[in-house]
Amino acid sequence: MSPAVVDYLGFLARIATGLVALAFVVGIIASSRKGDRPKKGEGQLKVRLLNDFYRKLHRAVEKVLLSKAELKALRKSEEKAEKKVAKDGLSSTNRPKVFVIDFKGDIRASGVESLRHEVTALLGHARKDVDEVVVRLESPGGTVDGYGLAASQLTRIREAGIQMTITIDNVAASGGYMMACIGNKVLSAPFAVTGSIGVVSGIPNVNRLLKKHDIDYEVVTAGQYKRTLTTFGENTEEGREKYKAELEAIHVLFKGFVSQYRPSLDIDAVATGEAWFGADALQRGLVDEIQTSDEYLQGKVDSSDLIHLSYEIRKKGGFKERIGLTLAGVAETALARLFDRRVGM
């Protein structure tokens, strides 16, 4: 074998050894990172300082407006403050903390799965009579049990003695308003929709259609009011009256809950199921101020540390499974609107 061939084979061997070593190192790093990742179906809390976001917006404008000398002096001052925070942490600023969480509600208030963990996280650090929680809320309402649980999560903040401000930029109606009323202060954008303190339920009945085609549908129950109204069976006037009484009972609970947190409200005047835009809601005492969440938070940037918390739940399965779950969720929501007696708060 010629010396050239030997040298070439030696070169290939060194390359192969290097690649194996590199793969080994990459595998170790990947394994260590994988250990920190949440398992499928679990979640991860993401924490972000919103002051940095606002600072980036301001810097983009400052580059155009300020001279080089002014910009240099400003950056020097900012770097000094940033180094102190990096060294000692946010606690070194001794400024109030504003914890910001978002809730975007669907018909079943499924966002409560993230909300409960976000509330738990902030309650471990928020200081009574010093810090504040801002909830950016958006929901037209939904099921009684779903929004009852979501409201209970916000109640934890209120009972801990932490100042809580609810901001409504688009809509917080029905079950959404049941959550909003818990806040020490409720802010509404000028055209945000609030109110709708009522309960509604609709259920189709195809019994006559079945009879027309000689199809019998039997409903067998144990308990006089186990099934007051059905989709396929024949409904009775007694069943309708009982069902209406159940809705009225839920409405009484709803009104009592709102009155507990907003005792100055004329509850009978606003609990008619009607919804109102910002100014009208303010006049009726449903909200405290007309202000957007952006305006409110921007006013806190210079005096407080704005900390955004977001608990993100990792989706189970691969792409096909996630698509399937999404389609199933859409179908479930559609069917719930059609058949589910709980829908309507």
Q: Which residue numbers are catalytic? A: 174, 226
List Cα–Cα distances, 98 to 46, 52, 84, 287, 318, in angstroms: 16, 14, 20, 20, 37
Give the span between the Cα atoms of 228 and 230, in whole angstroms: 7
Angle value at C-alpha 255, between 134 and 151, nearest 5 degrees: 35
- By the 10 Å C-beta count (0-12 exposed, 13-18 middle, 19+ buried), 180 is classed as buried
Give the span between the Cα atoms of 61 and 254, in whole angstroms: 48
Give SS3 for 51: helix
Extended beta strands in 15-61, E state? 43-49
Give the span between the Cα atoms of 147 and 141, in whole angstroms: 7
Give the span between the Cα atoms of 197 and 273, in whole angstroms: 5
Residues 6 or more apart whose CB falls under 8 angstroms from that of 60 comprise: none
Residue 181 · residue 262 · CB < 8 Å? yes
Task: Look up residue 199 and give its two tokens.
Answer: 């309960």
Residue 209 · residue 219 · CB < 8 Å? no
List Cα–Cα distances, 46 to 15, 100, 295, 308, in angstroms: 41, 12, 24, 8
Task: Look up residue 165 and give its two tokens.
Answer: 């401000």
